[in-house]
Amino acid sequence: MADVLELQLPLPPREASPNNHASRLARMRAIGGYRAAVGVIARQAAARCGWRGDRPVRLSLTFGLRGGADGHYRPGDPDNALASCKPLLDGLVDAGVIVDDSWRWLEIGSIRCDRDAGPGVLVQLEVIE
């Protein structure tokens, strides 16, 4: 049973940014597609390493911003980066990788930017007691 799960995910769509002003339909389509993709990737990774999604976790995010990111959000600051990851968190819940994104089950760890990696988001989930 693993106590740490690492996932390499694509950057969120720019429609997930709190500063994006796309139409509601465009936002829903982009965010729904990203949420579903995160769920598939997370479910596969969890199955490979024997991850149990029934424990409280600390979530850390590293945004890799190198290279092209057509159609994807390139966060300029940590608070907007975290806000753009709401569909990522929902995808993890949908996949059963985390129980819920409430205070009881999820603690936010570090949020970093790595301009030499990516493009993508490295998600680290660490079991906390």
Write the single-letter amino acid at 14: R
**Owning domain of residue 112:** 4-127
Here the tokens at position 86 are 């709401």
Question: pLDDT tens for residues 18-54?
Answer: 888 889 999 899 999 999 999 999 999 999 999 999 9
User: 12, exposed or middle or buried, with CB in 10 Å at 0-12, 13-18, 19+?
Assistant: buried
pLDDT at residue 21 in the model: 84
State the DSSP H helix or E strand holding residue 106, giving kind and residue range, or none if neither: strand 106-114
The answer to whether 3 touches 57, Cβ cutoff 8 Å, is no
pTM listed for this prediction: 0.90
Residues ≥6 apart with Cβ < 8 Å to 66: 114, 115, 116, 117, 118, 119
Cα separation of 3 and 55, whole Å?
10
pLDDT (mean) for 90-116:
95
Q: Quick check: 103 pLDDT over 70?
A: yes
**106-114: strand order across its sheet:** 4-9, 120-127, 57-64, 106-114
Find where tokens 């975290």 sit: 82
Other Cβ atoms less than 10 A from the Cβ of 49: the count is 11
**Residue with more model confidence, 14 or 105:** 105
Q: What is the mean pLDDT of the chain?
A: 91
> Residue 36 sits in a domain of what CATH number?
3.30.1330.70
Other Cβ atoms less than 10 A from the Cβ of 76: the count is 12
Structural domains of the chain, count: 1
